[in-house]
Amino acid sequence: MNEIKAIKYSDLHIGQFAEVTHTITEEDIQTFGDLSGDYNPLHFDEEWAKTTIFNG
């Protein structure tokens, strides 16, 4: 895993870039539901979600 380094604004240069990526996990979905109270079956029930226009 790469570490995130803090950099001062004055040390930034044109052309520099940074990227953070994260693969969404089942735990992330559960945490979202727990924090928001949104337990929409589209997010939590794969079989039901397959019956919608999203197909899963």
Whether this model's pTM surpasses 0.75: no
Residues with Cβ < 8 Å from 46, sequence gap 6 or more? 56
According to DSSP, residue 50 is labeled: T
According to DSSP, residue 15 is labeled: T
Q: Do the domain assignments include residue 7?
A: no
Q: Do the domain assignments include residue 51?
A: yes
Q: What are the pLDDT digits (tens) for 2-18?
A: 788 888 999 999 999 88
Residues with Cβ < 8 Å from 55, sequence gap 6 or more? 49
Domains: count for the chain: 1
Q: Do the domain assignments include residue 56?
A: yes
Q: Do the domain assignments include residue 1?
A: no
CA 32 to mean position of chain CA atoms: 9
Output the six-digit token pair for 6: 């803090």
Q: Which domain holds residue 38?
A: 18-56
**Looking at residue 56, what is its pLDDT?**
87
